[in-house]
Amino acid sequence: MTYAERLRTITAERGRLCVGIDPMPSVLDAWGLPHDVDGLERCARGIVEEIGGEVAVFKPQSAFFEAFGSRGVAVLERVLVDISEAGAMSILDVKRGDIGSSMAGYASAFLGDDAPTRADAITVSPYLGVGSLKPAVEAAVAGGQGLYVLARTSNPDGGSIQLADAGGVSVAQHVVDTVAALNPAAEHAVGLVVGGTHGDPGCDLSRFNASILVPGIGAQGGTVTGLAAIFGDALPNVLPTASRGVIGHGRDKVSALAEELLAELATI
Amino acid sequence: MTYAERLRTITAERGRLCVGIDPMPSVLDAWGLPHDVDGLERCARGIVEEIGGEVAVFKPQSAFFEAFGSRGVAVLERVLVDISEAGAMSILDVKRGDIGSSMAGYASAFLGDDAPTRADAITVSPYLGVGSLKPAVEAAVAGGQGLYVLARTSNPDGGSIQLADAGGVSVAQHVVDTVAALNPAAEHAVGLVVGGTHGDPGCDLSRFNASILVPGIGAQGGTVTGLAAIFGDALPNVLPTASRGVIGHGRDKVSALAEELLAELATI
């Protein structure tokens, strides 16, 4: 199955929610865990133990694992296997972006059957041009995996570059259109990252032809009911992502908070 | 000492050259090494064994280490220690870029005295806005370390975003100006990445106030004599970076090729 088909199947079964695995210091505190690689492992794997069988997609944030060096990356590798064994899908948030052989190196790291840090999809950054991502697009399609290209991010600083004028459209729109043009040949495996915190994201997503990952639901200020207003016709492609709102109140709250959000998302 | 002072001291002693540690498959082949974590380690550490005492700065490309997962990252950690023990400086090419707590996670990974994958400087990507890099700027200054923000990259696809119009100037120029404005308070620790392959880089660097990392000398088509024409008044800030031209012809050629390039660079 293609990435798009796998994602459609699992979200039809489990609901359209992605839970961010962000074992940041404040989350470790809320779980009563130490700020070390053992605390990292207990938190990250604990999230999957709690809700791995109910939630469709998980998005581990690589930065919090890399903060513990190679031992943290080893934990990340185990978490990705846990997610797969729980029947869920993983979008590894690495925001990589590089050129030629370096981009191919990142593709080997995360995409393809033999990748040591294998995820179902990764996030990538287009600052070096959407064209520079080609080695990752090819590896993703070959492996039945996906990519999510940053278009418009949820933070207030993002507009300085993402809303610049790229030949009559915003940079974000240029990314949307360039990615959309790749998808017919790429099995619709190339999605976008668009923050859920902007009233107007600065790009028209109504004709976009793949998955749209929307971080920022909850702690960053985005709301479930706000999604319909922001994304309009593109709403069926939206994969809403919550993190601290689900995992940030201790391990014993994770399952109930995820269920609550799934119920709310089922209404839109 | 600040990062800028340390860089000035070592380049005054050893010459103004940065050698890329890019243990990509074709380089492993040229060294007669297998495409595995052992080959990776022998190549990457071998480069430092050959020229660690002569070259001022090394730039390991993280992608080629991450391609071997957590074990590859462990090799990277050893290579960074090797570089430091050889009296040279390291710029870890990771091109990270994220927001808030995630950017702080990356800062913990690479910057500060306790960082597990500690480098003297790292490269970062500004797609989420130069402002989003603040946690890394603060960590770098506190640790006497540096950052290099991507402005104009050497690849042909880069212009689609980097030459977009950000309020009357190119995105690349916006990055140059925003970084320059940070530097007086940031001990001139925040440099730029500007490719050495463009006749006109699309941004004015003449008043830039920190180090400019210039990849693309050699295999990517940039030349030493071309640097003066491209960078003009900014030339004293340029740190030219070569990789395959030095390391891509087998271990026994590394030392002679580095010396040749150092001699050529001493003439400009």
Give the model confidence (pLDDT) of A67-77 as tens digits: 999 999 999 99
List, for residues A241-260, the tens digit of each pLDDT value. Answer: 999 999 999 999 999 999 99
Calculate how close chain B gets to A267, using CA atoms only, in Å: 30
Catalytic residue among B59, B95, B134, B253: B95
- Judge: B73–A68 Cβ closer than 8 Å, yes or no: no
**What whole-number percentage of chain B has pLDDT above 70?**
99
Q: How far is A12 from chain B (nearest CA, A)?
A: 30
Give the confidence band of A44 by pLDDT, cuts at 50, 70, 90. very high
Burial of A236 (0-12, 13-18, 19+ CB in 10 A): exposed
Chain A environment of B24 (Cβ under 8 Å):
101-102, 104-105
pLDDT tens string B107-156: 999 999 999 999 999 999 999 999 999 999 999 999 999 999 999 998 98
Closest by CA position to A161, among listed B65, B211, B57, B160: B160
Tell me the pLDDT tens digit for each residue of B71-97: 999 999 999 999 999 999 999 999 999
CB-closest option in B61, B105, B164 to A102: B61
Which of the residues B43, B66, B111, B173 would you substitute to probe the A interface, choosing the one with the greatest number of A C-beta atoms within 10 Å?
B66
- The answer to whether B40 and B245 have CB atoms below 8 angstroms apart is no
Task: Say if the Cβ atoms of A69 and B100 lie within 8 Å.
Answer: no
Contact A3, A140 (CB under 8 A): yes
Buried/exposed code over A104-113 (b: 16+ C-beta within 10 A; e: otherwise): bbbbbbbbbe
Alpha helices in A151-223 (DSSP H): 159-162, 171-182
Put simply, the answer to whether B165 touches A160 (Cβ < 8 Å) is no
Q: Which residue has the higher pLDDT, A201 or A175?
A: A175
pLDDT at A27 over 70: yes
> Which pLDDT value is given to residue B200?
82
Say whether A61 and B102 touch across the interface (CB within 8 A). yes
Chain B CB contacts of A71 below 8 Å: 70, 116
Partner residue opposite A64 with nearest CB, options B73, B105, B164 = B105
Interface probe for A, chosen from B26, B36, B99 (most Cβ of A below 10 Å), is B99
Q: Is A219's pLDDT higher than 70?
A: no
pLDDT given at position A228:
87
A157 and B130 within 8 Å at the Cβ level: the answer is yes
Task: Quote the pLDDT of residue B72.
Answer: 98
Q: Considering chain B, what is the average pLDDT of its residues? A: 96
Average pLDDT over residues B193-209: 89
Which residue from A26, A73, A115 is facing B70, i.e. has the nearest CB? Answer: A73
- Could you tell me the pTM of the whole model? 0.97
Q: What is the pLDDT of residue B223?
A: 84
Supply the angle between the helices B69-85 and B37-51 in degrees, to the nearest 10: 10
- A173-197: average pLDDT: 96
Q: Does residue B218 register a pLDDT over 80?
A: no
Domains of chain A, start order: 3-265 (3.20.20.70)
Counts of helices then strands in chain A (DSSP H, E): 12, 8
> CA of B166: which chain A residue's CA is closest?
A164
What is the model's pLDDT at position B202?
86
Chain A residues close to B153, C-beta within 8 Å: 99, 127-128
Q: What Å distances lie between residue A250 and A51, A224, A261, CA to CA?
A: 13, 22, 16
Q: Which residues contact residue A91 at a Cβ distance below 8 angstroms, ignoring those fewer than 6 apart? A: A18, A57, A58, A59, A119, A120, A121, A122, A123, A146, A148, A213
pLDDT digit string (tens) for A101-132?
999 999 999 999 999 999 999 999 999 999 99
Q: For residue range A145-167, what is the model confidence (pLDDT) as tens digits?
A: 999 999 999 898 999 999 999 99
Q: What is the pLDDT of residue B219?
A: 66
Q: Assess: ipTM above 0.90.
A: yes
How far is it, in rounded angstroms, from Cα A11 to Cα B244? 45
* Among candidate residues A154, A164, A158, the one with its CA nearest the CA of residue A227: A154
Whole-number pLDDT of residue B154: 85
pLDDT at position A218, please?
75
Residues of B in contact with A125 (CB under 8 A): 95, 97, 125, 127
| Min distance B109 CA to chain A CA atoms (Å) | 4
Q: Which tokens in the block code for residue B135?
A: 């946690």
Q: Mark yes or no for CB contact B125/A22 under 8 Å.
A: no
Q: What pLDDT shows up at residue A226?
A: 87
- Cβ-based neighbour number of residue B199 at 10 Å: 7
| Residue B95 is a catalytic residue | yes
